[in-house]
Structure 1
């Protein structure tokens, strides 16, 4: 096991001390920055003052992106499988006529 790193992340005007693996630091800092950016955007655009509501909307936004990405990836995999099936049929047909 490697050494742990102690960091402090600020999210929605609150500081969260964390003990993490050093390789996680960059991702966590970027995530915290993205949450803060989105939270400020929600506060400005929707005049929401309750931090819990703002953070819930941030969580919904990020979770929906992940889910939508998974749906799109699944659709792309199905399209690729269909294309491979078509190619396989063409190859079988071409090889059968030789």
Structure 2
């Protein structure tokens, strides 16, 4: 589609970005989630330093991403094995029926 210029506000700082048009909504949502997470941390821990809040938010999202990546790999490995078995069975069935 093409690149567009947007401005994202994170921790009261504005960041100009060039993004693909189809990514704009996702990027804006991510920035909103970061700001909301920082607000909740600020209230829960009475932390005022934006750098500390950003670091804590980054740690939260990085940990979540790692958990998701590990889970995805485990699930994908199981699926790959099942697909291989299914493929082999289908090949054997089609060979027996002389369909190939």
Would you call these one fold, judging by a TM-score over 0.5? yes
> How many angstroms does 1:19 deviate by?
2.0
In 2, Cα distance between equivalents of 1:5 and 1:42: 32
* Structure 1 pair 76–14 and aligned structure 2 pair: CA distance change class (3 A): same
Q: Displacement, 1:74? A: 2.2
Matched length: 87
Trace 1:1-98 onto structure 2 (pairs within 5 A): 2=2, 4-80=3-79, 84=82
Q: Secondary structure at the match of 1:57?
A: helix
Gaps of 5+ in 2: 90-100
For residues 6-46 of structure 1, give each alpha carbon's deviation from its aligned partner in whole angstroms, at most 9, with x where no partner exists: 21111111111112221221111000000001000110001
Structure 1 regions of 5+ residues with no counterpart?
92-98
